[in-house]
Structure formats: C-alpha cells, structure tokens
Amino acid sequence: MTTRQMNFILLAAVITMALQGCGSSNSKAPSVNASGKHPADWYTAHRNAFSTAFIADGAQQCKECHGVNLDGGIASVNCTTGLAGFPAGPCHANGHGPRVTHQLPFKAANLHGPQANADIAGCGACHATGTVPGSNPRFNVTIGSLTNGCEDCHKTGTAHPPVDPAKVAGFPASWNNHAAAGNIAGACTLCHGSLYQGGSGPACSSCHNRAGAVMPPVAGQCVSCHAKPPATGSHAAHSAVASIATLCTACHDGAGSGTPRHGSRGFANVSTAISQDFAAKTGSGSVTASLTCRNIRCHGGVTTPPWGTGAINAAAECIACHTQGTASQTPQYNSYFSGQHSRHVNSIRLQCTDCHDMSVSSGSNSHFSNMATPIFELSPGLTIRGPVNYSGGRCSPGNNPAQFSVGVCHGSESWQ
C-alpha cells in the first residue's frame, strides 16, 4: 500500500469519526441533517438543549463538535464569538461563552423570584435588550419555551411583579415588597432612571415624596415617604412614650417597610393591624371605622378617643385606661383592685389623683416606662402622695381639705 493510499484511508477515518461525532448515529449528540447541520430553529432551541446537556454531563455532547472549550472544534463554530451575521451579529458577545446560571425549568415564581429580587440586572444578561441605567430594557428576549421572554407572564415593560392577570392567575397584583430588592443602584435604575427620575417605570419620588428624601430610599428607615413617626394624627402623643416611640409594628403589624402590606392602602387610609403582643387581656385589638381603638393593652381594654381628634390627660384621667378589677390583672392587666379601692372610688368618689401622683418615677421606671410588657415596672405603692401619710398598710390623711377633693378624710385606717 502506497503512502498516498494510507493517507486517503486515514482521511476517510477522520471524516467518518467527525460525522459520527456530530451525526445522529452518536446517541449523545443532538440530531443533525445529512449535511451535518442542526435544525432550522437551533438558534433558539439550542439554549434549552445546552442547558439540559450542561446539567447532565457538562455539555459533553456539545464539546464533541465545538471543542472542549466550545471555541470551534471540528465544527469550526466558536460558541464564544459565533458567526458574524448569524442571524444578526456575533453570538454570545462580550467575550463569554455559553453559560447556565440557574436550574431548568425556572418559570415557577418561587424559583426565579428570589434570584430576580436579588439582582434583576443580572437576569438581563440573557433575558433583556440593553441593561444599563436608564436604558428601559424590555425583558422579552425569546429564550427556550419563553416566546416573549419574561413578558410571557409579566406585564409589558416590566420583569418584576405585578404579573399580567390576563396571562397568569393566582399572583399578587402589587409589588410592595420592592424595598427588599438587591442592587437597587444597578437594577432599579434600569427602568426608573439613572437618577430615579423615571423612565419606563415611574419616578421613585412619586411615592417617596417627602421633602429632602434621599434617593435611593434607605430600606427600613421610613423617612423617604414620611417622618418616623409620621407627623399626623395622634402619632406625637404616642411617640412621647419612649418604649413605643418607634415601635411601628405595635399598630401596623405585618405592614412594615419591605412587607407586601406596606403602603397597600395608600397614605390616606394606612394599613393598620394591632400586634397580638399589645392585645388586651379580654381579646385581640382592633381599629374601628370611627378610628377608635378597642382591646388595646396599653389602654387597659378601654375604647380610646378617636385617632387624631381625641386626647387623654394621662396625669388625671386614670379611668380612661384603668378599670376596676377583682384580683391581680383581672379583668385587665392594669386593673386596680387592692384594699379599699372600691369604697374610695365608688362610694366616697375620690379622684385617683387624690392619692396617686403619676409624675413619680423610681430609677428608670415611671408611669409609661415599658408599655411593651403587661406588668407594672413602677410599683403603684410608690406613687402614693405624701398627704395620704401611707405607712405599714395604713393611711392617715386626716383633716386636710386643701389636699383632697372631698375635703375632710379620716385618721389612721387600715387600707386592707
């Protein structure tokens, strides 16, 4: 056999191996036609095929023809740069090769939602056209089974909730948890403007409209839409009580910044819900249509004056929050019951302030030292006024009409 014949046989063997590697005879490779070409829809279909192959074995079937590094191989098609002009320019541009960044399928909201929320700009690398601040990209790139990309489910011009109810049922209609989004500076500015001034998405200032608000808003600080606490209604009276001054969740349970209910009812009718931690002993707290609060532990279960228009003088109007009881914390946590309370309040008609001075404090404890607990941090016995002459369980107020609302009282008597 001549050298020429041997070379011819070797060439034939190489060609045969190549055809087997890229042809249908190789069970590991995608199907090709007689001329060694993939199906006509391979430009889009290969994405899912590559992802499936990548998960299965690192895309070995692709590497058999396109090379170990997918940079050409016997197919002479470099997957990193692709073919100029096919179909509208180089494939996998910007110097990166094919890649899979998530599992497939990935359409379920509980799968892709958290990743998109963490950095939707990252999703744009494959799913959008143009992803720089202010570019207003459409997340509608056809990929795999997504004919219209993300807009198969989401509304046109957006790749985050709300979804289009005409396309997908069963998802919330709002995205009030957007404060939890990651990469706000790089992701939100894509559609909301490089300076958050608006684009295909609204200007952030349309909601975050407090004068001098910082952009982007700082999650959890509540100061881009309103003061903390807001300068409305009876917020000022409540903020004067240190233990609940910034405890928004006491009255807006489950509606804090970053939750789906935050701002869901608008500024004129905010979302209120009393935390169970502040429920009265007689039941769960609630807010009525007339903006009074019922079954609130801080108010001893007594219905409050209307929010914003009513007021309580905490130094004198004790029964606005304290009801008479029959035993310790019965019927309310703050009910008064001991000794001769019933006689003095119901029969003699003494005022609470005849015997108690609620301006008294002891160390760090005072009348409102910790409204987040159901106990008295300040012992009521410490608030008894001097003129009562209380000692050893006995009172000796005597004839001292200038000090008591009923005038003359009594000599030494046992409180019990």
For 207-231, how does the pLDDT look when each residue is reduced to its tens digit (9 = 90+)?
777 766 667 776 666 677 777 788 8
Q: What is the pLDDT of residue 54?
A: 67
Is residue 2 included in any domain, yes or no? Answer: no
* Pair 95, 130 in one domain: no
Q: Indicate left, alpha or beta for 186 from its phi (over 0: left) and psi (-120 to 50: alpha).
A: alpha
Is residue 214 included in any domain, yes or no? Answer: no
**Is there a contact between 174 and 162 (Cβ–Cβ < 8 Å)?**
yes
* Pair 372, 403 in one domain: no
* Residue 68 CB-density burial (10 A; 0-12 exposed, 13-18 middle, 19+ buried): exposed
* Pair 237, 160 in one domain: no
Q: What is the pLDDT of residue 5?
A: 43
* Pair 53, 72 in one domain: yes
* Pair 375, 297 in one domain: yes
Bond prior to 172 in cis (omega within 30° of 0)? no
How many whole angstroms separate alpha carbon 148 and alpha carbon 153?
A: 9
Q: What is the pLDDT of residue 317?
A: 94
Q: What is the pLDDT of residue 360?
A: 93
Is residue 251 included in any domain, yes or no? Answer: yes
* Pair 117, 181 in one domain: yes
- Kindly report the number of other CB atoms within 10 A of residue 232's CB atom: 13
Q: What is the pLDDT of residue 300?
A: 95
Is residue 259 included in any domain, yes or no? Answer: yes
Q: What is the pLDDT of residue 163?
A: 63
* Pair 201, 340 in one domain: no
Is residue 9 included in any domain, yes or no? Answer: no
* Phi, psi for residue 61 in degrees, rounded to 5: -65, -30
**Is there a contact between 253 and 273 (Cβ–Cβ < 8 Å)?**
yes
* Long-range residue pairs from 320-325, CB within 8 A, at least 24 positions apart, any chain: 322/352
How many whole angstroms separate alpha carbon 344 and alpha carbon 87?
A: 94
What residue type is assigned to position 132 of the chain? V
* Pair 79, 149 in one domain: no
Is residue 80 included in any domain, yes or no? Answer: yes
CA-nearest of 113, 114, 116, 111 to 126 is: 116
**Is there a contact between 202 and 193 (Cβ–Cβ < 8 Å)?**
no
* Pair 324, 291 in one domain: yes
* Pair 193, 176 in one domain: yes
* Pair 374, 239 in one domain: yes
Count of structural domains, the chain: 4
* Residue at a domain's end among 75, 100, 125: 100
What residue type is assigned to position 224 of the chain? S
Residue 187 structural domain:
109-206
- Kindly report the number of other CB atoms within 10 A of residue 288's CB atom: 12
**Is there a contact between 316 and 334 (Cβ–Cβ < 8 Å)?**
no
Residues found in the chain: 416
Is residue 342 included in any domain, yes or no? Answer: yes
* Pair 121, 59 in one domain: no
Q: What is the pLDDT of residue 98?
A: 63
Is residue 250 included in any domain, yes or no? Answer: yes
For the chain, what is the radius of gyration of the CA atoms? 37
Question: For residue 413, what are the β-bridge partners?
Answer: 395
Per-residue pLDDT of the chain (416 residues; tens, 9 = 90+): 454 444 343 333 333 444 444 444 444 456 677 777 788 777 767 777 776 776 667 678 888 888 877 778 888 877 766 565 555 455 665 545 566 667 777 888 888 888 888 888 878 877 887 778 889 999 988 877 788 888 888 888 877 776 666 666 655 555 656 767 888 888 888 988 988 888 988 888 877 777 666 677 766 666 777 777 888 899 999 988 988 888 888 998 988 766 667 765 555 457 788 999 999 999 999 999 999 999 999 999 999 999 999 999 998 999 999 999 999 999 999 999 999 999 999 999 999 999 999 999 998 899 998 998 999 999 999 999 999 999 999 999 998 888 998 888 899 999 99
Q: State in Å, rounded, how far the first CA of the chain is from the last one.
A: 127
DSSP letter, residue 160: S
